[in-house]
Amino acid sequence: MDPKIFYGKKEHVTVLVPDLDSEEDFDSDDSLLDETYKPTLLDYVEEDLLESSSGEESNADNQGNNNEERNNLGSWNEDDEIPLRQLRDKILRVSAVSVQGGVKNMKIKKAPLKWQSSNKEPSDLPTWKAQLPSQTSVETPLHYFYKLVDKELLEYIVEQTNLYAAQKDIGLNFCMDSKELEQFIGVCFYMSLITVPGTRRYWSSACRVSQVADVMPLRRWEQIKKFLHFADNSTLPVEPPDRLFKIRKLVESIRKNLRLIPMEQHLSVDEQIIPFKGRSSLKQYNPKKPKKWGYKIFCLAGASGIVYDFEFYCGATNQPENLPDISASSNIVIRH
């Protein structure tokens, strides 16, 4: 086998259409050579052209060009004699117009959208009668942290973590208090802002981060990370199964604290992805999101970016009988 043929490019084959002007290309009994023959193909093509050009998919530019092209074709009677070249030109022009005005080969150019901002408020909207409290002073970050994660929740997490460590290894002398838990959460927050490839490098001599390494030793941080727990596995419900059982207490506590924040006027409900690529049955894939893999939640957020409520997506749920079943996002708005 010739390698040039095997690895070479495909040769394009060109098919030459015979010239209809040459009468030698046709047989003697061909109807096109008969001067008394009056073709009816033109009427049939024109009828199809009128039907295709009146479709909803054709734009205004194609319709104008098709109408002008059809007017230039001219009209003919049965008694008129049509030369062979003129008949060929008419058929080719009508076919080209019909293909150009068809739906399959038609390309519609979208007009560019120009958005204009307007400060006018719709007149049919209800008047917002609430009022946000005036904040004259800015509190410390620890104060706002306790607003979101209260001390009752911290004590519950400490209890469940120590219980899980005892269940895994009775001989292990592991005991954590709420102060260490606060330090562990603070280290996690700082790691999410200052990223380093590998958690152990925060304590390494090459790229040591003092805001993390000076808070607690690496060995203690890894122990807390290993035994951190939010529920008792021995009380796992069997029927009906709750897919958020292990973090249900944590989720409900944070939601309760978020609802205490005074809401602003302009709100929106939309879905959001919490990035995660590990093993979990709740992991979703959404190619339209900036972070495609992770947990999907529905958030109630304001124009300022504050989240006032949220709900995890755990699969298809049955809407209560007294509420209409619209869609996933709309059902959440109605339920809450």
Please, is 194 exposed, middle or buried when counting C-beta atoms within 10 Å of its C-beta (0-12, 13-18, 19+)? exposed
CB atoms within 10 A of CB 93: 15
3-state secondary structure of 294: strand
pLDDT at 30: 47
pLDDT score at 121: 63
CB atoms within 10 A of CB 39: 14
Give residue 45's pLDDT.
Answer: 43
* Backbone angles phi and psi of 297, in degrees to 5: -130, 150
Quote the pLDDT of residue 308.
Answer: 92
User: How much is the pLDDT for 168?
Assistant: 87
- The rounded distance, in Å, linking the Cα atoms of 88 and 46 is 15
Question: Alpha carbon of 131 to those of 262, 263, 264, 288, 304: distances in Å?
Answer: 9, 9, 8, 36, 15
Q: What is the pLDDT of residue 87?
A: 62
State the pLDDT at residue 13.
Answer: 52
Confidence (pLDDT) at 212 = 92
Q: What is the pLDDT of residue 314?
A: 82
Q: What is the pLDDT along the chain (336 residues), one digit of tens a residue?
A: 565 555 555 555 555 545 545 445 444 454 444 555 555 444 444 444 444 444 444 444 555 555 554 454 444 454 455 555 666 666 666 555 444 444 445 555 666 767 777 666 666 777 888 888 887 788 888 898 999 999 999 999 999 999 999 988 877 888 999 999 999 999 999 998 988 888 899 999 888 999 999 999 999 999 999 999 999 888 877 666 788 888 989 999 999 999 999 888 888 888 888 998 888 888 988 888 888 899 989 899 998 889 999 988 887 777 777 777 777 767 777 776
pLDDT at 4: 56
Rounded to two decimals, the pTM is 0.60
